[in-house]
Amino acid sequence: MSLKPEELVTQDQTIRKTLAMVFIPMFLILAVMIYFRNNSTDYIEDEYLKIHNASYSGVITNMYEEQTGRGIRIVLMNDKTQKKIHQSIYYQLSIGDSIIKRPQSDIVYYIKKDGDTIEEDINSFYRDKYFEKLQKQ
């Protein structure tokens, strides 16, 4: 049983229309859900406080050259945790330098072996969104 070319074209168009009618609404609903989740006060507050309350410190024991996305590099610390660092700071660091993030702070301190210190505000995005949402309430 072979189909004529016209029948194949008709079947192909029908399948495409059916798939579009199923997947386009699903995509739109998912996009709306993600938008509302990312802009909800609870989500922004949770992300802000998670970063704000985090604390860690250690010495860099390994530096990975692979880029994980948008200029982010990974370093391995002496406690075997991996930290993501923007490449502008990554290239200023070397093995043996220290990284310190204190609780209740948005600043990460990178202390080089020669004594120089680099400060990075890692929470400005969520902090700005969080306080903006608080002012609107």
Q: Is the pLDDT of residue 1 over 70?
A: no
The per-residue b/e assignment along 32-67, b for 16 or more CB within 10 angstroms, e otherwise, is eeeeeeeeeeeebeebbeebbebeeebebeebeeee
Quickly state the pLDDT bin for 29 (edges 50, 70, 90).
very high
Q: How many CB atoms lie within 10 A of CB 130?
A: 19
Q: Has residue 3 got a pLDDT over 70?
A: no
